[in-house]
Structure 1
């Protein structure tokens, strides 16, 4: 098929490359000329594992190319995916749909023949009819342009796998007799033939899918961190408690590791946007628990600062603290709502000399937090440190032998905010070890 992807950020560039991998002829469209140039050269302007390999492979053959032209994109084919960003509105919890509606308005006048507009962006429920209204007003093809909803469920650092081998495929349409369904089934034919569960539903249900999934995941993470607070008060072991709970097939182990909590561009934004939309619909009481989910998550950052203060005898002013981690999770350079950087910034405000290291996210961190010190070398980073904080669970950090570090520090103390360091090995190497939310 010939298809386009409008918006080539993290979601759109990944989707475009994966659609080319499935054998389609793809044009990705983005207004950022520098981004388009980088993508056409086979390089993503962000880090996602194996994405550059796919970009280089398919831009070289001509199966995949990128443009800044809506006209070129509209003329390319009859299927147009929209994957633009929908951030939070400034000063509010609700989604900002400016980029989405702008993309639809600019695409619409160029749709002169039957086409499908498939939206992948995360939105508040009830957005699809607003997209249809714009298309009917501005698209010359009028009612022959159909709207589909195809939410994404990508995990950063696993985005290619999640696109090519998803655990489910959700397709939302206005009616059961939609031409758009046949088009999307053709597009995702290889994925469907591989046995991927495919749920065909209405617009509203498809719109709710992403925010609902992220809200559930956030709740699970905050639940085990809430249990960690109870365990700390009771003298219990939250790690063992999580293991006990995880053996229940209805609960499972995934997402049940206590620690610094979640961040990134999806979970925090989506639970807040979900609550905001529920309020607009008069169903806000149904989601009041998400406020506590958000509060528990943010509280973990405060607890890390308090634990650091405790380990340094109650005085943080002038102390040197090294932080392993800047990205919100490993295998990405994404620092949006990063728990590690939130802790780093708060410590800096309290008078700490903070040095941050990360395998991929330092360039992004420097732009948003120029007040911090940075180094590429996690071993050199601990030089003269009074305390080491392990806040992003990169495998590069967990593989460092602690006996190589202790003599470099002012005091060999470490707090594991992710629960992935081998505490016994570190203690044998001379370190005082504490773990967030652990005894």
Structure 2
């Protein structure tokens, strides 16, 4: 959420940031609403002072035995009390309206984010690894003989409908091994703290990270008010919601492996084959909570943690910086990591790492107490996939495919697979 004081102080800067996202100026609307809110608050406070003053005179008139003055003042106090209640109600209404409006406005991009309307303006800034030169036509993951019978879309459709999959036998074990490998790497090598969090959360938790109110259609809710998380960013970031932490605990770097749920409302007909785009999937998420001045360095660090997973799995990838028209609602700057998929002959997103500045912290009122003293300040928050487990499985299968239909598995996974090195007809060998 944006700082209303910053908008008051420099509305032109606020509108210029929105323009980079392709949005019309909003400062006149926001400042008009803010002025009405502040006027209502002032009027309510003035009426409250008048009520308090009249209340004191009531007692004095009673003590003097001036019954007429007593009744007049008592009526005045009752009138002021009703006036104060109405004014406070109006001030609260305007305050809620301003907050709701600010909740709907996306974050301001950093100055070095490339400007553009959509993904066509994204910029590749780094590439690692060289795709294997195959002497046969590569297949997509769901076409591989190595996964037949162990990647079951028919049973999943019978159970749940489209965009679900049942993994079995060796494929299920490789999927589990990938998640375990990622967690071990992040905890042991990258010094992240592992957490196990709920996947059902309260609405205010979704508001805190920006999934609500704007993107309600992209998520699932239950009949009793819970929401199913689209990513553990929601739970991990909200650790600081409504709290003030000591500066000494910053940066706090967290990781969690969870099921995630997305309706994919805006992707009808897109990636319908295979398990690239599912309603339910697993992800190892990374979240950092830090001082604002450390956020840029933490963004680079987090992205390198995600890249390390890909490099240890020997999966070629590229790093993309998203343009202003393609970056997420709460992001100031986003790096996407795209992994090479030989079956599609292209790179596809497998991780998205974003720095959000103080945008989410304002929404959830998360602060830290400076070690030098002074007023508590809002923290900065960052989030990134480290990685999407299902998409990583796809990349491992496609990049490891052999001419005989088997799949050679990355060496770092062998200890997690009981020493097995290949996948043949759905079975580890």
TM-score category, normalised to shorter length: under 0.3
Give the alignment's TM-score, normalised by structure 1.
0.26
Higher relative contact order (CA 8 A, sep 6+): 2
Give the alignment's TM-score, normalised by structure 2.
0.26
Larger Rg: 2
Higher strand share: 2
